[in-house]
Amino acid sequence: MAVIIYLVSAVVIIITYVYISFKKSYRLWSSLNVPYLEPSFPFGNLKDITKSRHFIYITRDLYEKLKGKRDYAGIWSFKSPMLFVTSADFAKDVLVRDFATFADRGVYSNPKHDPLSGNLFFLEGPDWKSLRSKLSPAFTSGKMKTMFHTVTAVADELTSYMEEQKIVGTEVDMKNLMARFTIDVISSCVFGLEGKSIKEPNSEFLRIGLNAIKLGKLRQFLTFVAMIMREQARSLGFRMFNEETTDFFTNMVHETIAFRRENNYHRNDLMQILIEHLKLVEEDDSNDSGLTIDEVVANSFIFFFAGFETSSTTLTVALYHLAKNPNIQKQARAEISTVLSKHDNKLSYEGLAEMELLERILLETLRLFPPVGTVHRVSNQDYTLPNGGVVPKGTFLVLPVYAMHHDKDVFPEPERFDPERFTEEEKSKRHPFAFLPFGEGPRICIGARFAMMQTKIALVKLLSNYLVITCDNTPTTLEVDESSLTVVPKDSVWLKFEKV
């Protein structure tokens, strides 16, 4: 009996201690005179995280309740206070003006137990800065022009496959087809391999790729917890990416490097740049300009991870809205025809840049379905707010991109597809930081130009040859998949192609 009383007393003491600790944390924002929503124990303001809701919808609800009070507000994730951005002005402050304080994403990374997490997107501080400078040369205008021809060749393979398989006139799962296209683009531009996913719908590369980005609800929740309890997660050896994914990309990179060296094969692609940096370390392991083999693998993976699902989703959603808006599609096709006629009816890098309506179509698509629905940062030093309050070092910040993109006060009728929102005249009427599909500032997505280029090329090839139309199974609206880290359609997106 005494043992039971002791155990019950211990549990009560622990719960009381935890509760008091939480309540103490819940006083932070009021002490700093920051607007906030009343938290509830133990979830703070994120109790919906346990439900089947994507984080973008949770943050959109918070944004609608908090915007207009001030440029920022306070929320809590469980016990952890979070600074919540509610204006484009403050978004600019944290992403650009005060970047030195908010340089780190606060994403969980554990290269020791989870090698793929040691990549550009996840790294922080000097490690990120050094790696960014090494990888930036892969995305210069010169490199874009070189990769332009590679992407165009893959897009030609796509249209050839469609003709061979007599896809025209049948219902097509656009989500699947565009995923296979972008997989083959990444295979070629990043790994220098001939992609086979367009012709082989069940390819291992496609299967591994889809598994890498799709998390179950439990793993998604654990990943979120790992972000706010990073040291504890590292000590427990938590990993975001499973062994199958890690082994697949590790073996692929090792085999690619071995083939190139054995055959003295050089290719003007991202892998070649990584190999050159690897060579520096192999010759002198103290050379800070180089990359280890683990770093080569991790960054090959992140370029695949970042470029695959995000671009295929942008293509899928763009085609969906063009099918639903035939007049806009007709105008886009006319623009493509006009520009091609000025360039000997051949698609060129320069001609692609002249397609302004196509650009606006993609920007509007990215507004509706931004690849990353929230931008996260963590302060690396105390931060003084405009009102004079001091936010402690280590405080997380959330910038609700999806919510800002769907703010009816900035984008009237936010659910309506309207590329004219992105004419120069319309853009001049709103704050430039109200639209952040690739982030902004020094940590803007390094592959943004490449992503735009490959999606434009695919649209040019498809719209030049086909009409995209709705069919019986075309969804009325596009719901977001709550099990995905990125913002992607939940279900198949069925459309039809007809010859022009």
Tens-of-pLDDT digits for all 500 residues of the chain?
677 777 776 777 888 777 788 888 899 999 999 999 999 999 999 988 777 788 999 999 999 999 999 999 999 999 999 999 999 999 999 999 999 999 999 888 888 889 999 999 999 999 999 999 989 988 888 889 989 999 999 999 999 999 999 999 999 999 999 999 999 999 998 888 888 899 998 888 888 877 777 666 677 777 777 777 788 888 888 888 888 899 999 999 999 999 999 999 888 788 888 889 898 887 777 777 789 999 999 999 988 888 888 999 999 999 999 999 999 999 999 999 999 999 999 999 999 999 999 999 999 999 999 999 999 999 999 999 999 999 999 999 999 999 999 999 999 999 999 999 999 999 999 999 999 999 999 999 999 999 999 999 999 999 999 999 999 999 999 999 887 878 999 999 999 999 99
Positions at the binding site for heme: 445
Query: What is the Rg, in whole angstroms, of the alpha carbon atoms belonging to the chain?
Result: 24
Positions at the binding site: 445
Q: Which two tokens stand for residue 443?
A: 């940590």
Instruction: Please report the pLDDT score of residue 15 as a whole number.
Output: 80
| Contact yes or no for 328/284 (Cβ under 8 A) | no
CATH class for the domain made up of 2-499:
mainly alpha
Instruction: Please report the pLDDT score of residue 154 as a whole number.
Output: 96
**Which residues share a beta bridge with 36?**
74
Q: How far apart are CA 241 and CA 116, in angstroms?
A: 7
C-alpha to C-alpha distances, 326 to 175, 237, 419, 463, 488, nearest whole angstrom: 20, 52, 13, 12, 23
Q: Which two tokens stand for residue 287?
A: 């050379």
Q: How far apart are CA 143 and CA 145, in angstroms?
A: 5
Q: How far apart are CA 494 and CA 490, in angstroms?
A: 12
pTM score, two decimals? 0.93
Q: Count the Cβ atoms, other than its own, within 10 Å of residue 62.
A: 22
Q: What residue has token string 């050896």?
A: 237
Instruction: Please report the pLDDT score of residue 206 as a whole number.
Output: 84
Amino acid type, 217 = K
Q: How far apart are CA 406 and CA 64, in angstroms?
A: 10
Q: Angle formed by the axes of helices 293-324 and 356-368, to 10°? A: 100
Q: How far apart are CA 278 and CA 227, in angstroms?
A: 30
HEC secondary structure over the chain: CHHHHHHHHHHHHHHHHHHHHHHHHCCHHHHCCCCECCCECCCECCHHHHCCCCHHHHHHHHHHHHCCCCCEEEEEECCEEEEEECCHHHHHHHHHHCCCCCCECCCCCCCCCCHHHCCCCCCCHHHHHHHHHHHHHHHCHHHHHHHHHHHHHHHHHHHHHHHHCCCCCCEEEHHHHHHHHHHHHHHHHCCCCCCCCCCCCCCHHHHHHHHHHECCHHHHHHHHHHHHCHHHHHHCCCCCCCHHHHHHHHHHHHHHHHHHHHCCCCCCCHHHHHHHHHHHHHHCCCCCCCCCHHHHHHHHHHHHHHHHHHHHHHHHHHHHHHHHCHHHHHHHHHHHHHHHHCCCCCCCHHHHHCCHHHHHHHHHHHHHCCCCCCEEEECCCCEECCCCCEECCCCEEEECHHHHHCCCCCCCCCCCCCHHHHCHHHHCCCCHHHCCECECHHHCCCCHHHHHHHHHHHHHHHHHHEEEECCCCCCCCCCECCCECCCCECCCCEEEEEEC
C-alpha to C-alpha distances, 423 to 229, 351, 364, 420, 429, nearest whole angstrom: 43, 19, 11, 5, 10
Count of alpha carbons within 13 angstroms of residue 489, beta-carbon side: 27
